[in-house]
Chains A and B, each alone.
Chain A
Amino acid sequence: MAQQGFPEGDFRAPVPVLTPGQGYTSITDKLTSIVFTSHTPMAWFGFVAVGFTLVMGLMVSLTYVVLKGIGVWGNNIPVGWAFPIINFVWWIGIGHAGTLISAILLLFKQDWRMSISRSAEAMTIFAVICAAIFPIFHTGRPWLAIYWLLPYPNTMTIWPNFRSPLIWDVFAVSTYATVSIVFWFTGMIPDLATFRDRAGHPVMKKIYGVLSLGWRGSARHWYRYENASLLLAGLSAPLVLSVHTVVSFDFAVAILPGWHATIFPPYFVAGAVYAGFAMVLTLLIPLRKIYGLENIITMHHIENMAKVMLVTGLIVVYGYGCEAFFGWYSGSGYERFMLMNRMWKGPMAWSYWALLVCNFIVPQLMWSKRFRRRLPVVFLVCMFVNVGMWLERFVIIVTSLHRDFLPSSWQMYHPTIWDIMTFVGTIGLFLTLMFLFVRVMPMIAIFEVKTLVPESSPKATAVGDGGAH
């Protein structure tokens, strides 16, 4: 079933999400076989091996950090926040696509989301896990931070300082994590049931049985299921916006030039979606190849996501524009200096231009349909965006900090090997979790995808016939 058969040309007719010729059984077979197969593709082992090695690195560096103190990183005064917070914001940003796709696109009735929503959600959760590591370990005394930031009745009769954006973070992120996980799991129940039924080995049967919470697919189940997911979608839709808004407050609330900007919330959220989609594509393009899912995650999806990237990317660039304009328009000497330092005069100006190349110049390729449909190009662009979004946080955090108000306290920042190990380590963790998930869980919402095939919508049969083998 090669995807060459995809209808070229006439696009006035609604584009089918899947390649023609898909049937209930073919899809179920295809997707369950990924898990219930005797031979796992070599690529899988490759990725997990790499990922797991990096995780070991992460463990080592985190242990070292806890034993010695965060001084093993490059942070200093004035640059009190550096890699850890950059990584935190980067990961949280990435963690936005999932919920956006499943919640917001669901509310907008975007069918094409179905093939990708599941893996996107999983990615979200893993990204949030990676993100959560940093704010805890970057504190000087994590063993206290981990509970002193929570409001609980203690023997000191002290509450956390609710004026501090970091406290808002705690709530925003933890809420987001919880809701995403619940949403993700609820979504999987029907498929887990399918797995339960398909599983050969009794133990597997039991495990999937427990996970599917006794799903029988009765009309009552389906009825409740639909309500639940609609409800959760409604819940998480605002979260998509709130989380990164709150994260952006960490900076916007401070008085530091380069942080203290009202544009931050919208511009951070757009950036998050931008980064999120980039990461989804970065993962799905290899995955669909490895597991031959070209019929389910079609060019159509890739193109759509590319379009979303292009749009959000432009919003982000608009954000950069605003920052520059505000800086100049504020008339504040500090603001103007900050811009000069960030763009031309400063020792870290390179990062700003690199960021523009990654987030602004390169993604413009996505205007062209030809490029949108050429996998290597799309993949490359996504890579650029991933890097670009990291650089964006670097520019905001480090460049603003290293030269603030009093010239006497200006200093340089240099990351250490431990900074890098920790960062790369979380990427490893992310990969590992993702591939483990793919191996044992339904990475594509089987039952949802089924609703896309002709059998489930009489109107579409024509197309179905058109592509008959």
Chain B
Amino acid sequence: MDFESIRKRLAGDGNLTGKAYWRSLEELADSKEFGDYMHREFPSQASEFSDPAGRRTFLKLMGASLALAGVGACTRQPVEKLVPYVRQPEELIPGRPLFYATAMPLGGYAYPLLAENHMGRPTKLEGNPEHPASLGGTDVFGQASVLNLYDPDRSRVIKGHGEIKTWSGFIAAMQGAMSAQRAVNGAGLRILTEPVSSPSIVAQITELTQSLPDAKWHQWDPVFGTVQGGATSFAPIYDFKAADVVVSLDEDFLGHGAGQVRYSKDFGSRRRIGTPNDEQNRLYVAEAIPTITGAKAEHRIAVRAQDIHAVAAAIAGAVGVSGSMAGAEAAAGAEEFVKAAAADLLAHRGRSLVVAGERQPAAVKELARAINDALGNSGTTVKYVAPVVASPADGVASITSLVSDMNAGKVDLLVIFDGNPVYTAPADLNFAEALGKVGLRVHVGMHFDDTAELSHWHVPAAHYLESWGDAKSFDGTVTLIQPLIAPIYDGKQTIEVLAAMNGNLGKTGSDLVKEFWAESLGTEAAWRKALHDGFIPNANAPAAPAAPAAPNEPANPAPAAPAAPAAPVDGYEVVFRPDPTVLDGRFGNNGWMQELPKPLSKLTWNSVAYIGVATAEKLGVQNEDVIEIASNGRRVRVPVWIMPGTATNTIGLHLGYGQTKLGRVANGVGMNVYPLRTSMAPWFVGGATVTKTGETYMLASTQTHFNMEGRNPVRVVTAEEYKHEPKESVEKLGPEVPPRDMTLYQNFEYTGNKWGMAIDLNACTGCGVCVVACVAENNIPVIGKEQIKKSREMHWIRVDTYFEGSLDAPSMVHQPVTCQQCENAPCEQVCPVGATVHSDEGLNDMVYNRCVGTRYCSNNCPYKVRRFNFLLYSDFATEEIKAQRNPDVTVRSRGVMEKCTYCVQRISHARIDAKTEGRDIRDGDIVTACQQACPSDAIMFGNLNDPDSKVSKLKEQERNYGLLEDLNTRPRTSYLAVVRNANPALDKA
């Protein structure tokens, strides 16, 4: 490493001490070696070889010995301190969590949340059950964002011209710059934010731009508000509850976006059938790269992103959309699909829905709207409104104009709030270079990232769990954000900085937000209620004067005449998509997200080029082969992953990897594909060339075998079969189940509660939220790529994916698998020390402190749901991470087996409270973490001894079956078979 630079920076970081000091010592030297080193370090708590000896090893061994002291029973207890409050807050009961409503702002939208707070530490996030955009569910980002709060690599100090500065120092500098701007009406002032829907922030910016008319406000976010082929003047809000037939044109509404949770809930409600005769909806999907939405579809075709417009046009023609398009040519191979879909749509006028791809050109969206209008769906299954996040209408345009101003030297003061444009901006804009031409560059962000590097000033931003604020959810509901903890690293909020720029100093975020809402809400009581609920019901956002960049649309604007986009280009097509786990890279330093297997591919810790089987054969490549992709002069090298169902000649790339400045987790992981992404084509571009490099790159996937081998772990029946012979159709898919008396051991008696779970595979979308929720709830460690590659993943619940049918158009099914809590548990009887035993309520208790780690139980577990701490996986070294841990769950040490126990800590709490109140546990008192997070309500937990409990009812359904029941394990978790409501016209089977 370059020690000179280390020393230089350390001069700045003098105030850091102890570990922080040393960490920063390495952090600060952004040398290549350091990058690799860090990449190895944090994730590989574990990786025993790549892990460098010295401090870390020492710490780990120390941690181990501490852990032993704690987890070995025969030691003398170490001395423990009790630190009471000086003045205890009234509502706080030590040892009991408190819950507060708040929301996560992402891409301008609010993701309503309920935050669990243990003695002042937010530890777990749930969806806000009251809020229409959540109804209790979350997406993966909502679950994982709590870890970002404790990210040890967040920037901790204000930096000015490379030196530590104080807040007042920063204010002084800003005031200087601002007064200069006031002289010229802010001609040289530019503000760059991410998309904003927050009324209070918009108000601040408006105040600024009104006092400084020539100042400009730009917005950029590589994912949200980035459109290709023009922006529409309207935004759709769907109601999947009302839709019997859904046609998705390259839109992953179940897998991504602000509406994902609500849409999954509604969509799922049409799949969670109660009786064989219940009608479910039918989903048609045309898309380029398989998404979980495509996986849920009865009928899916893979077409290039460029050809989606043709498909849309063809459908429009077939359903007789007025004007043009009649008999338009669908892409080759899509004709049948188009015919059937159109027929189905026509058969369900007013109860059908066409969903246009968020990342498709305006023309497609307008076509979709035209179809919905023609079918009379508008108003029933979809309503078109002015975009909720009005700024930006078109992010690319916004940042392009900013860059041209910067290049023209018009910009003297640029303030960048959040985001990392240097890393994410379209490659052809050379943002970094343009940035150099700006007089004074200010960056407000959570990390000292690429943009901070190139800025004069860097102000650490507060995490939203440390902030006051507001934002609109996808449906326009104004949602309030309240802090769960005081800023850990003294981060500042956007609104505070803006206020300072407006000259009203000394105002805290809470003052500003509260003031803003004061008059519209009136009473203090109303404000308190709004805070308690987390949102302001009738979305009565005060009429903030429209921000400059925000086009003020009528409530239901008429669509412009559909204009066809650029004609498709041949050659390879490159499709860019936000990564399902690290998004655009902002979750890159989040170990949970890196380790969360991507839906379908089950890859971790990497980005890849997804290609179809045909493409792979053409290129003569297989998984892990590195290809070079060149598109108009720019090239990137990415390892290949063959994903059946990807459109031929299409290459799917996920954003957000190959970072170098974010932190120990993100740095050096995966390949950066932004260099290939231009302002012309942020989402897809044709005419790319691909060459095989002959290199290979190690990829770690948690599942290596995607074929069911005729064992039908997931049982799939067609709607017809199920209607006619409900039980038989499902039963015949598995071997016969032995009778209950067929065991040498005497059967357990369950006199009290009898816990059980039912998972509706027909509703499960395989999004993976349950996995993150479980990780957050149960202190599950991050183990790193090397360990995953060695097949030692630690997730207690995993989502298995199986492919069936043809390689080019496979059907895909998901199955969340967790400990099945067998009544005849093979694990229990082989454990030599009785560390896993049967509880009187039917749980397979796992007693970590008794386990000696023979792994016999895992060998004997047919579901392979047991996880073993092969090394010291739990992080005993990083202080920051510890604050997130759930105090009700043991942090497992090395050499111990662990597994799901139906969130036994939640069971215990519910039981104790019930007993204290002298009653029985009510159905619904206990909600497991996975169940709570599930956006499609696929998981149900409850008491099987109570015939009226929801779970008992589900288990009565004919499509209920147990996994590997034929082994006589008698799993307590059972699955509800998939019922495919295929269109007879298309159904080959």
Contacts and interface: CB of A to CB of B under 8 A. Distances in A.
Direct A–B contact present (CB less than 8 angstroms): yes
B523 interface: no
A67 B703 CA distance: 30
Contact of A72 (B48, B73, B855, B864): B48
B448 interface: no
A140 B792 contact: no
A467 interface: no
B863 A75 contact: no
A141 to B, nearest CB: 4
A406 B871 contact: no
A68 interface: yes
Contacts of A148: 833, 850, 852
B853 A408 contact: no
Given A81-B855, A148-B852, A254 B830 contact: yes
Given A144-B852, A148-B852, A411-B791, A69 B872 contact: yes
Interface stretch (B368-376, B542-550, B709-717, B974-982): B709-717
Contact of A164 (B817, B832, B851, B862): B832
B855 A140 contact: yes
Q: How large is the interface on B (under 10, 10 to 19, 20 to 34, 35 or more residues)?
A: 35 or more
A72 B46 CA distance: 10
A390 B815 CA distance: 38
Nearest to A80: B855
Contacts of A78: 791, 858-859, 864
B310 to A, nearest CB: 37
Nearest to A405: B862
Contact of B711 (A156, A158, A255, A333): A333
A408 B714 CA distance: 11
Given A76-B792, A405-B863, A407-B708, A139 B854 contact: yes
A253 interface: yes
Given A69-B872, A164-B830, A164-B831, A408 B817 contact: yes
A404 B866 CA distance: 14
Interface string B865-888: 011111110000000000000000
Contacts of B858: 77-78, 80
Contacts of A164: 829-832, 856
A406 B800 contact: yes
Given A67-B61, A140-B869, A408 B800 contact: yes
A74 B871 CA distance: 12
A374 B279 CA distance: 81
A143 B893 CA distance: 14
Interface residues of A, number: 53
Contacts of A170: 832
A160 B834 contact: yes
A172 interface: no
A145 B829 CA distance: 17
Given A158-B850, A337-B709, A406-B863, A141 B967 contact: no
B806 interface: no
Given A76-B792, A161-B831, A406-B863, A145 B852 contact: yes
A141 B871 contact: no
A167 B832 contact: yes
B410 interface: no
B632 to A, nearest CB: 41
Given A149-B832, A164-B832, A254 B851 contact: no
A83 B833 CA distance: 22
A80 B68 CA distance: 23
B847 to A, nearest CB: 10
B799 to A, nearest CB: 9
Given A77-B792, A77-B864, A71 B73 contact: no
A27 to B, nearest CB: 49
Interface string A286-301: 0000000000000000
A165 interface: yes
B72 interface: yes
B852 A149 contact: yes
Contact of B48 (A68, A81, A256): A68
A80 B705 contact: no
Given A71-B792, A140-B896, A406-B817, A77 B72 contact: no
A136 B894 CA distance: 16
Nearest to A146: B852
Given A161-B829, A161-B831, A408 B705 contact: yes
A410 B704 contact: yes
A309 interface: no
A256 B859 contact: yes
> Is the contact region of chain B dominated by helix, strand, or loop, or is it mixed?
loop
B645 to A, nearest CB: 18
Interface string B702-728: 011111111101000000000000000
Contacts of B380: none
Contacts of A405: 711, 862-864, 964, 967
Contacts of A69: 48, 869-872, 894-895
Contact of B790 (A76, A138, A142, A144): A76
Contacts of B852: 139-142, 144-145, 148-149
A159 B850 CA distance: 11
Contacts of B411: none
Contact of B705 (A74, A142, A156, A407): A407
Interface in A71-94: 71-72, 74-81
B474 interface: no
Nearest to A149: B832
Contact of A406 (B46, B792, B864): B864
Nearest to A397: B859
Contacts of A143: 68, 72
A132 interface: no
A140 B711 contact: no
Nearest to B895: A140
Q: Which of B791, B853, B860, B869 has the most CB of A within 10 A?
A: B791
A253 B830 contact: yes
B853 A407 contact: no
B698 to A, nearest CB: 13
Contacts of B872: 68-69
B859 A254 contact: yes
B705 A166 contact: no
Contacts of B829: 161, 163-164
A411 B704 contact: yes
Contacts of B706: 407-408
A145 B859 contact: no
Contacts of B72: 141, 143-144
Given A405-B711, A407-B705, A71 B871 contact: yes
Contacts of A167: 832
Nearest to A82: B855
B205 interface: no
Given A68-B871, A75-B855, A140-B894, A161 B709 contact: no
Contacts of A410: 704-705
B802 interface: yes
Given A72-B48, A140-B868, A337-B709, A256 B860 contact: yes
A173 B963 CA distance: 37
A138 B856 CA distance: 11
Given A72-B871, A78-B864, 15 more contacts: A69-B894, A80-B855, A80-B858, A81-B859, A139-B853, A140-B853, A149-B833, A159-B834, A166-B856, A333-B710, A333-B735, A401-B859, A405-B964, A406-B800, A406-B963
20 contacts: A67-B61, A71-B787, A71-B871, A72-B48, A76-B870, A77-B791, A80-B858, A158-B834, A163-B829, A164-B856, A166-B856, A167-B832, A255-B860, A333-B710, A337-B709, A405-B964, A406-B817, A408-B798, A408-B802, A411-B791
The 9 tightest CB contacts between A and B, nearest first, are: A140-B853, A140-B895, A71-B870, A80-B855, A409-B864, A71-B871, A408-B800, A166-B832, A145-B852
Interface of B: 46, 48, 61, 68, 72-73, 703-711, 713, 735, 787, 790-793, 798, 800-802, 815, 817, 826, 829-834, 850-856, 858-860, 862-864, 866-872, 894-897, 963-964, 967
